Structures are given as C-alpha cells and as structure tokens.
Amino acid sequence: MSVAALIPAAGSGVRLGQGPKAWVTLAGESLLSRAVAAFEGCVDEVWVGVAPALSARAEEELSGRARVVCGGATRQESVYNLLRAAQAEVVLVHDAARPFLEAAVIERVVAAVRAHGAASVVTAVADSLIEAASGRVVDRAPLRAVQTPQGFRRELLLAAHERARERALEATDDAALVRALGHPVALVEGSSWLFKVTTPADLELARALAPLWDA
C-alpha cells in the first residue's frame, strides 16, 4: 500500500508570537523542514499545507522534498485540502509543530493502519488532572493525550472529513472525525519527544533539545 505523509503547517502561531510557526527554526532548520525530513525514506510521498501567502516560499524551500498545497482557515480544513491532493492508499497526518518524530513511531502507525485501517499515537498523562471550574479530580489512569502522526486508509479519512463538513462537526484531530463515523481507531504508543511546540516555553525546550536530537 502506498503511503503519503500529510503535514498541516498553515497555523499562524499566535500563541507562540513569532510569526508563522512552521518557519520558526531550531538549530537553523525550520519546524516545517524538520517535519518533512522525519518522513524521508519512510513514505512514498510528502505533502505540506501552508498559508496561501507562503506557498511560493514553501515550494522554493522544499523543492523536490515535498509537494505544497494551500492550507485552510482551520487545521481541519488544511488536512482536507491535503487529503484531496494526495492519492496514496494510506495517509499519515502529522503536525508540523511536532518536530521530533522518530522513524520507529512512523513504523508503528503504518503497521497499525495496515491491520486496523485507522491508528493514532497517544501517550499516558503524567500530570494530575482536575476540572478547573469545580476542582473535581479526574482519574488520569484511563486517559491518554493524543499526539500525531495519525494514520488512516485515505478513503476512510476522506469520508470522515466529508461527513464532518456536511454536519459542521469540528475536531482538533483527525481520529476524532473517524470515530464520529463509527470506525474504531487503534492506539499506538507515542513518545515524550512528540510534544507540540505551542508556547514560547515549548520553543525554548525544543531549541535546547534540537542539538541532542540532531547528534
């Protein structure tokens, strides 16, 4: 089965406050370039979705490494645009904002998609959890934080997105849309390295880790 990586990278990076997040650099390499590099040699094709104003820049910087499509106003729309462009049988959706992706994680997700049709990387929750309004303690043991990559048979994810569009459903990840279609999603062990660069503190951490990762 052919496999494509789909990388939504059209976020504006408001919480980070450093301009379009995909172009923020760690040890001289952008988050976008790092996300693309993680899939090289692991998949048949790589697609990125970027803000329309940055598509020429992305084409130039990623020439020969990834194909570029215009992202949308939300992550969900960006993934939908990527899905319609790619034609591989299996798609792996991965946030550009998660720069430290190991090949072993990609392999786990692809194997689970081949077996089950849909798979998401998750990780156990380390912190105690409460409901902010009531202070009620939430048992963290059965909970998992959802990371990316998430992998699907392309036709399944496309059907999930089409249905979400018809019903105006919104979700912050793709596995949720597939579950809403009634299809189960296999869970695959993620990694602490897969944290998402969202805040300035995350960026500081990522910049400190990049030389270690690159070594």
H or E stretch including 196? none
**120 lines the binding site for ligand C5P (CB under 6 A):** no
Using CB under 6 A, which of 3, 4, 5, 9 touches ligand C5P? 9
- The dihedral built from the CA positions of residue 20, 26, 32 and 35, taken in this order, carries a sign that is negative
Smallest distance, ligand C5P to C-beta of residue 197, A: 8
DSSP labels, 112-138: HHHHHSEEEEEEE--S-EE-TTT--EE
**75 lines the binding site for ligand C5P (CB under 6 A):** yes
Is the distance from CB of 33 to CB of 96 less than 8 angstroms?
no
**97 lines the binding site for ligand C5P (CB under 6 A):** yes
**99 lines the binding site for ligand C5P (CB under 6 A):** no
Greatest alpha-carbon pair distance for the chain in Å reads 53
Neighbour count for residue 41 (Cβ, 10 Å): 8
Interface pattern 25-54 for ligand C5P (x via CB under 6 A): ------------------------x-----
Using CB under 6 A, which of 58, 90, 96, 121 touches ligand C5P? 96
Size of the site for ligand C5P (CB under 6 A): 18
Using CB under 6 A, which of 10, 62, 86, 112 touches ligand C5P? 10
Spatial separation of the C-alpha atoms in residues 118 and 97, rounded to whole Å: 22
Please name the amino acid found at residue 16: L
Using CB under 6 A, which of 3, 21, 161, 177 touches ligand C5P? 21
- Exposure b/e, 121-154, CB count within 10 A at least 16 = b: bbbeeeeeeeeeeeeeeeeeeeeebbbbbbbbbb
Smallest distance, ligand C5P to C-beta of residue 19, A: 12
Smallest distance, ligand C5P to C-beta of residue 58, A: 12
Residue placing its CB nearer to ligand C5P in the complex, 21 or 34: 21
Chain residues that interact with ligand C5P, rule: CB under 6 A: 8-11, 21-22, 49, 71-75, 78, 95-97, 196, 198
